[in-house]
Amino acid sequence: MKMKPIVRSLAAAGLITALGVGGIRYYEPATAQAAVETATQAQPAAPSALPDFSRLVKQYGPAVVNISVAYEGQAQAGATMPDFGVAPGDPFYEFFRRFQIPQNPQGAVPRHGIGSGFIVSPDGTILTNAHVVKDASEVTVKLTDRREFKAKVVGMDPQTDIAVLKIDANNLPSVKLGDSKNVNVGDWVVAIGSPYGFENSVTAGIVSAKARALPDGTYVPFIQTDVAVNPGNSGGPLFNLQGEVIGINSQIYSRSGGYQGLSFAIPIDTALHVKDQLVKFGKVTRGRLGVTIQEVNQSLASSFGMDRARGALVSQVENGSPADKAGVKPGDVVLAVDGTPIQRSIDLSRRIAMMKPGSNAKIEVWRDGKPRDLAVVIGEAPSQQVAAADNSDLSGARLGVAVRPLSPDEQKQAHVTGGVLVEQVAGAAARAGIRPGDIIVSVNQKPVKSVDELRAATKTSEKTLAILVQRDNARIFVPVELG
């Protein structure tokens, strides 16, 4: 850092030093003009101008929304009394009873949360994170022009942390969607969201890495950035310099709870794949192999006779699974699926998850020191999404559950025929004691085998429902008082 002024001083004196074979030599420019030219060449080039984000923010900022959610808290009955160090029977107990604190008359303490989202079509379709609206009893969307709308949760997918909302409005500003496959490490990116409730805050940075796997068991190839993202930014868009959304800000790595230089965004390609399925089918369908896999490091690669660390090492194969039927064995290293190389273990998870159940695939595995091809019929992964998660769509805000059908394997394991699995609980169902994980078997002694049958049963009932639920290995009737 000290060299630049030294070089300039020598140039002004007409002397430039250079290290030759024999040591330091002195060269005198032939003319004063030569000295000026030499000094000019020694100076570093002027830095290029930093990007101007103002036009991008002005054009697409209005399509970014603030999301506020309300939750119903845990039921708390009666009233509590501050701890004054007295107990029943103490002479002062009756005196201090007047200071008891009454609880919410409804038996629940409401909670609130905030997040971000963005409008993907002028008809009011919005993308955000599933964790932003999970367990919410009410979702409110606020636009930059200060209009507010109650939002319906069309569906959500916890595996990818994507949720689709819908508000009743038209001709809304919307974002331009990009292609996350064209993102390069080092590209400038911009985030807009509501960190800590500060609506439409803009931060910028660069892409730090691509296809980053996080230890959360998801199929998402995260885009890592150094954009400042904090609580409240979740669900907001990540833009490239062309004003295209390339990701959804979702997670940060932090020891303090605040931003520490590592933020992660869900690629927009992944988000749109999930969004299209939720809107069209109300659920997300994923392919399944039925294997447990792990990363291949250099030591493992060497022990298997591989030239380098790559692929996904199969550590366990589920009996009767598609992989088992195809002949996959523990110790196999999956190198490719339909010709697409598998570099890391998460690549296999994502690749299979994106395939249609029932489709045929060719997988290349490394076994006994050489590659071989296996034919497999892709299975269907158990659904973990929550479709129609808002109470009004499922049961008219009366019951307050979000459910999904059970897969054939789940029905077999639970020893039930039909039934629906409770994913989320709020309102009347929560107050009655129904829990996530319960299987609703019947309503008012009428068997329930689908979401539609549950919806029909709750709509035709007047005040009280007798819901038969299976919890673990026991069945109990739960009376639910409807509002």
The catalytic residues are 131, 161, 234
Cα Rg of the chain (Å, integer): 30
478 - beta bridge partners? 467
Q: Among candidates 351, 340, 368, 372, which has minimal Cα distance to 289? A: 351
Q: Which two tokens stand for residue 9?
A: 């001083």
Give the amino acid at 376. Answer: V
Give Cα separations from 347 to 230, 301, 302, 323 (angstroms): 28, 17, 21, 17
Give Cα separations from 200 to 66, 146, 178, 286 (angstroms): 8, 12, 21, 35
Determine phi and psi for 57, rounding to 5 degrees.
-65, -40
In sequence order, which residues have a C-beta less than 8 Å from that of residue 240 and are 6 or more positions away? Answer: 178, 183, 187, 188, 189, 190, 246
Q: Among candidates 426, 441, 439, 437, which has minimal Cα distance to 483? A: 426
403 - beta bridge partners? 422
Q: Cβ atoms within 10 A of the Cβ of 148, count?
A: 13
312 and 365 in contact (C-beta within 8 Å)?
no
Q: Which two tokens stand for residue 326?
A: 């195809």
Using CB atoms within 10 A of its CB, is residue 380 exposed (0-12), middle (13-18) or buried (19+)? middle
377: which DSSP letter? Answer: E
In sequence order, which residues have a C-beta less than 8 Å from that of residue 216 and are 6 or more positions away? Answer: none
| Cα 228 to Cα 238: distance, rounded to the nearest angstrom | 11
Q: Cβ atoms within 10 A of the Cβ of 319, count?
A: 6
Using CB atoms within 10 A of its CB, is residue 479 exposed (0-12), middle (13-18) or buried (19+)? exposed
403 and 469 in contact (C-beta within 8 Å)?
no
Give the amino acid at 402. Answer: A
| Cα 128 to Cα 34: distance, rounded to the nearest angstrom | 62
| Cα 221 to Cα 346: distance, rounded to the nearest angstrom | 8
160 and 274 in contact (C-beta within 8 Å)?
yes
